[in-house]
Amino acid sequence: MMTRFSVTYWVGANDEAEARQRALDIALEQTVEIPRDAVPAGYVEDEILGKLERLEPASDGRGGFFADISYSEDDVGGDFLQLLNIIFGNSSIKTNIRVEDITLSPGILSLCAGPRFGMPGLRELCGVDKGPLLMSAIKPVGLSSKELGKLAHDFALGGMDFVKDDHGLADQHTSPFAERLKACVDGVNEANAKTGGKATYVPNITAPAMKLFERAWMAKEQGAGGVMIAPALAGYDVIHSLAADPDFGLPIVSHPTFAGPNMITPTTGFSHRFYFGLLQRLMGVDAVVYPNFGGRFGFTLAECQSIVRGCQAEFGGYKPIVPAPGGGMSLARVPEMRDAYGDRVMYLIGGALIRERDNLADASRRLVDAVRAED
Amino acid sequence: MMTRFSVTYWVGANDEAEARQRALDIALEQTVEIPRDAVPAGYVEDEILGKLERLEPASDGRGGFFADISYSEDDVGGDFLQLLNIIFGNSSIKTNIRVEDITLSPGILSLCAGPRFGMPGLRELCGVDKGPLLMSAIKPVGLSSKELGKLAHDFALGGMDFVKDDHGLADQHTSPFAERLKACVDGVNEANAKTGGKATYVPNITAPAMKLFERAWMAKEQGAGGVMIAPALAGYDVIHSLAADPDFGLPIVSHPTFAGPNMITPTTGFSHRFYFGLLQRLMGVDAVVYPNFGGRFGFTLAECQSIVRGCQAEFGGYKPIVPAPGGGMSLARVPEMRDAYGDRVMYLIGGALIRERDNLADASRRLVDAVRAED
C-alpha cells in the first residue's frame, strides 16, 4: 500500500544544479521547515521530510524544470487544509515555482471523497443527457427578493438548467438570504410547473464562518437544488466538508471570486488545470465557474481547454465535473464556444441576458435553443 | 454620516483614457457585474454601482494610475467576506490591477471591530514594555507531543515571549491536537514557574471547517494564551468572527501559508502593506507572521517596512498590531533587523534555534539577550 503522494512543481532555474537545490528547498519548506542539518534522523527524516523523486527539464518548451516531490500521508493527518498546506503552503510565497500536478495515494483518496454528482449526476438531475448544460445568474445586488425571484422564474421558464445567485448576493437588506431563497425556489418551481422542466436554483451560501453551514442546510430544507460557495473567501475545507456529508447531498458549485492571484501569472501559484480542475475535484466540487477566454478576463483558449481536461480527464477515479465558463458570454459567441468546448461544459450566461430583463424568458429560450441546436 | 467606503487600486494603463476605462470596469465588475447599459436606474445605479472618485497618475514612479472607487455599505450587508468580495472579488482575476489602500466608513468600522490586543495588549500580556518581542516555533511535524512539549518548555525557559506551533502541526497521529495542547501548555507553565516569566503558548488551530472553533475553545479552556490561524486556508471570516467574540478574548496570530500568490507580484493581487497590514487589522489579527527580507523568501526591505507601516500607522482608529518577520532569522542577523525595524516588531525565530535543540534554553537565552541588549 502506497503511503506517499507526490506533487509536480514547475521550477524556474538556469541549470539543473540550481533546479535541484530549489526543489530540495521545497521538500524541506513544505514539511519540516528547519535547516536540512537539523532534521532529526529516523522517522522525521525517513518519512516526513519531502523526497525529490524526479527532476527533468520542462518538456513543454517554457524552460525550467519539473520536480516531483513525494510527501507522507502521515504529515496530512486526515486534514484537507493540511494537505493543501503541504502541496503549497509557504512555498506559495516564492516566485518561479508553480504547482502543476498531483499523484494521489490511498490515504488521500480516502480523505477526499470527491464530487458526489459530477457531470453524470448533474445531467441526471436536469434531465439533459447530451449537449452542453446552461446556467444563468440572477443579479445585480440592490434588486429586491421579489425582483430576483422573478428573474429566477424567467430564466427557468426560458429553459436554463441551473439558475444561480450572483456571487455578490449575500444577506443585504434589499434581499436577505432567507427571503431571497424562498422567492427564488418558488419562482423556479412555478416555472418548472409550467414547462415540465427540471430547472434548479443554486443560492450563494458564502457567508460568515458560523453561518455558512446554517445557510447550506436552510437551502436544502427550503428546496434549493444546489449551493454555491467561493472557496478562496470561505476557506478550502468548507466544500470538502459539505461534499463529504451524505446527509447534505446537494450539488456544489464553486465560484472563483478572490482566487485570481492563485493562477494568473505563468510562474507563480497554480496551473489553471490544477486550480480549476484537480483541486476542485479533490474538494468535492460538482461544477466550477471560471473566466472564459475572449471575455473580460485574460485566460487563453489553451488555458481554458486545460481546465476542461483538469475537470474531466481520469484522476484518481473521481467523477468528471462540469466546467462552467462565464464572463462575457453572449448569443453571438455560441458557435465559437461550441468549437472550443463541444458538449463538455455548462455555459454560464448572466449579464448579457439581464440586459433583456423585460423579455428574459424569451431571450433565455433563444440562447438555449442556439446552444442545443448545434448538436 | 458617510455610508460609502473607498478602495484605491493601482491600474496599469498606457494613458489616462485607458486607465479610466479600466477603472470604470472595476467599478462595474465589483458591484453589479452586468453591462453598464443594463444597470437599473435609481437605487442600483445611484447607490450600489461603484463610483470612480479619483484617477491620477501613480505618484511613486512605477507608471500606471491610482484609481479610488467608492462602494456602498449597503452592498456589504454586514458580511466581512462580502466586503472582501467587493474590495477584490472577480477583479482579482485580472492582471495589471492591484489593491493599494482603503478608506473606511462608519459601517465598515462597525463591521470590523479590529484587533482586541494589538501591540499594547501583547506587550501587557508578556510584561515587556519596550524593545522587540520574541516568538519561536516548535517543530518539525513528526515529533511526539512529549518532544514538542519539551521544546515549548525550553523556549519559554530561554525567555521567549511567545511559543507557537509550526503551521504544519495539525492533528497528525504523532501529535494529536488535544495531546499537544496539554503537553505544551504544561511545558510553558512549568518554565514560567521556574523563571517567573509570562511566556505564552499559541497553538495552531487551522483545522477542518467544523472543528476550527471547537479547537479555539479547547485552546482557551486548556490554558493556551493565544491561537494561530492561516486565513488563506481556513477562510477570511474565521479570525474576524473569533476576534469579535468577547467571550473568546484570546490574541490571534495570523500565518501566511497558502497566501503567497496574493502579494508576490508587483502588478497583481494586493500590496504588501495592504495584505499584511490593513487587511489583518480589519480581520482583527493581533500579530501577523510574514517573510522577512534577506531570508528564504523574496521580500525586499522596502516591502517589509511597508508592512510595518500597514500594521502600525493610523488606520481607522484600530490598535497597531505586531508584525512578526520570520523565515531565515538567526543570531547573526539581529543587528541588521534592529536597524530595519527598531522595537516595532516581534522577532520570529524557529529553524536556526531548533538546530541547537540539545541546548535550546541556552540558545534561546542568547538570542533574547542579544535582541534586548541592543536597547
Query: Grid coordinates representing A131?
Result: 449537449
C-alpha B87/C-alpha B108 separation (Å) is: 12
Is the pLDDT confidence value at B7 over 80? yes
Closest chain A residue to B38 measured between Cα atoms? A355
Answer yes or no: do B74 and A173 touch at CB < 8 A: yes
Mean pLDDT score, A322-331: 90
CA B299 to chain centre: 15
Same domain, A29 and A163: no
Last residue of a domain, one of B80, B96, B111: B111
Interface confidence: ipTM more than 0.90: yes
Query: Grid coordinates representing A110?
Result: 480516502
Mean pLDDT score, A245-274: 96
Same domain, B28 and B144: no
Same domain, B298 and B188: yes
What does the DSSP assignment read for A199-260?
A: -EEE-B----TTTHHHHHHHHHHTT-S-EEE-HHHH-THHHHHHHH-TTT---EEE--TT-G
Which of A34, A77, A262 has its CB closest to that of B261? A262
Q: What is the least distance, in Å, from the CA of B129 to any CA of chain A?
A: 31
CB burial readout A185-215, b (16+ within 10 A) else e: bbbbbebbeeeebebbbbbbbbbbbebbbeb
pLDDT single digits (tens) A119-135: 999 999 999 999 999 99
C-alpha A330/C-alpha A336 separation (Å) is: 11
| Cβ-based burial of B52 (10 A; exposed 0-12, middle 13-18, buried ≥19) | middle
Looking up residue B78, the CATH number of its domain turns out to be 3.30.70.150
Same domain, A231 and A327: yes
Q: What is the least distance, in Å, from the CA of A31 to any CA of chain B?
A: 7
Interface test with B, best of A139, A258, A274, A300 (most B CBs within 10 A): A258
Same domain, B77 and B55: yes
Same domain, B104 and B252: no
Residues in A touching B37 (Cβ below 8 Å): 355
Is the pLDDT confidence value at A1 over 60? no
Which of B92, B210, B234 has its CB closest to that of A260? B92
Q: How confident is the model at residue A363 (pLDDT cuts 50, 70, 90)?
A: very high
C-alpha A211/C-alpha A196 separation (Å) is: 34
pLDDT value, residue A328: 79
Query: Grid coordinates representing A321?
Result: 465535473
Query: Grid coordinates representing B91?
Result: 477583479
Q: How confident is the model at residue B350 (pLDDT cuts 50, 70, 90)?
A: confident
Answer yes or no: do B85 and A233 touch at CB < 8 A: yes
Residues in B touching A142 (Cβ below 8 Å): 32, 40, 43-44, 47-48, 74-75
How would you list the strands of the sheet with A133-138, edge to edge?
A200-202, A162-165, A133-138, A346-349
For residue B123, the one-letter residue type is R
Answer yes or no: do A209 and B258 touch at CB < 8 A: no
Q: Which residues lie below 8 Å from residue A232, measured CB to CB, with a gap of 6+? A: A256, A257, A258, A259, A262
pLDDT value, residue A326: 93
Q: Across-strand partners of A325?
A: A290
Last residue of a domain, one of A111, A132, A162: A111
> What sections of B30-144 are H helices per DSSP?
43, 73-76, 80-88, 106-111, 118-126
pLDDT value, residue A331: 87
Q: Which domain holds residue B336?
A: 118-373
Closest chain B residue to A350 measured between Cα atoms? B34
Q: Give the three-class secondary structure for B329.
A: coil
Answer yes or no: do A90 and B207 touch at CB < 8 A: no
Same domain, B70 and B191: no
Answer yes or no: do B75 and A141 touch at CB < 8 A: yes
What is the pLDDT of chain A when averaged over all its residues?
95
Same domain, A317 and A193: yes
Is the pLDDT confidence value at B1 over 60? no
Q: What is the least distance, in Å, from the CA of A129 to any CA of chain B?
A: 31
Is the pLDDT confidence value at A375 over 60? no
Same domain, B57 and B135: no
Q: What is the number of structural domains in chain A?
A: 2
**Residue percentage of chain B with pLDDT more than 70:** 99
Mean pLDDT score, B258-262: 94
Closest chain B residue to A235 measured between Cα atoms? B235
For residue A85, the one-letter residue type is N
Mean pLDDT score, A321-325: 98
C-alpha B227/C-alpha B46 separation (Å) is: 43
Is the pLDDT confidence value at A374 over 80? no
Same domain, A145 and A280: yes
Report whether the peptide linkage leading into residue A140 is cis, meaning its omega lies within 30 degrees of zero.
yes
Looking up residue B273, the CATH number of its domain turns out to be 3.20.20.110
Answer yes or no: do A89 and B143 touch at CB < 8 A: no
Tell which wins on pLDDT, A354 or A137: A137
pLDDT single digits (tens) B58-90: 988 889 999 999 999 999 999 999 999 999 999
CB burial readout B144-181, b (16+ within 10 A) else e: ebebbbbbbbbbbbbbbbbbbbbbbbbbbebbebebbb
What is the pLDDT of chain B when averaged over all its residues?
95
**Residue percentage of chain A with pLDDT more than 70:** 99
Interface test with B, best of A22, A33, A205, A227 (most B CBs within 10 A): A33
Last residue of a domain, one of B83, B111, B139: B111
Residues in A touching B210 (Cβ below 8 Å): 213, 241
Answer yes or no: do B92 and A261 touch at CB < 8 A: yes
Same domain, B318 and B352: yes
Same domain, B142 and B58: no
pLDDT single digits (tens) A179-205: 999 999 999 999 999 999 999 999 999
Is the pLDDT confidence value at A27 over 50? yes
Is the pLDDT confidence value at B273 over 90? yes
pLDDT single digits (tens) B291-326: 999 988 889 999 999 999 999 999 999 999 999 999
Which of B43, B167, B240 has its CB closest to that of A85? B167
Q: What is the least distance, in Å, from the CA of B352 to any CA of chain A?
A: 7
pLDDT value, residue B2: 58
